[in-house]
Amino acid sequence: MTARFVTGPPLLQGWAELAAAAGLLEAAFAVDPVGRVLVAPAVVLLAVLGARDLLLRPTLTAGHEGLRVVDGFRRRAVRWPELARARVVTDRRAPLLELDLGDTVVVLSRRRLGQPPALALAELEATRPPAG
């Protein structure tokens, strides 16, 4: 697919998450065993998110044939007719890009898109070929 629109988190973000996980892991050895148990989930979460942000790039790509989106930890290729609706929704005052793919709904935050959801939606709609 020839991409006309590509978006995702900055590469630095993934490295920062991995660095934070490493820093927390190092700090965990300075605390008692109970503290290690409390810090361990945060280390795992930061490491997993950092790896995802580095390995599953870009988050959203669109071209003439359709779009590709990272849904959690998997990539999905979707043709334009399969995209039932794309809109910006607000959840707890944070705008999110919602993509209704028929069988599932993918919700992407500003952090995952690397830009405001309204801007991503405008660029996505500009990339979408006219119906007909």
Residue 10 pLDDT:
79
Residue 2 pLDDT:
58
Question: What pLDDT, in 10s, does the model give residues 14-47?
Answer: 898 999 999 988 888 887 888 888 888 999 999 9
Question: In the chain, which stretches have pLDDT less than 50?
Answer: none
Residue 82 pLDDT:
92
Separation of CA 107 from chain center: 9
Sorted by where each begins, the domain ranges of the chain are 7-55, 58-127
* Cβ neighbour number for residue 70 with a 10 Å cutoff: 21
Residue 3 pLDDT:
61
Residue 1 pLDDT:
55
Q: Are the beta carbons of 60 and 8 closer than 8 angstroms? A: yes
Residue 48 pLDDT:
92
Residue 80 pLDDT:
92
Buried b / exposed e along 105-116 (16+ C-beta atoms within 10 A): ebebebebbbee
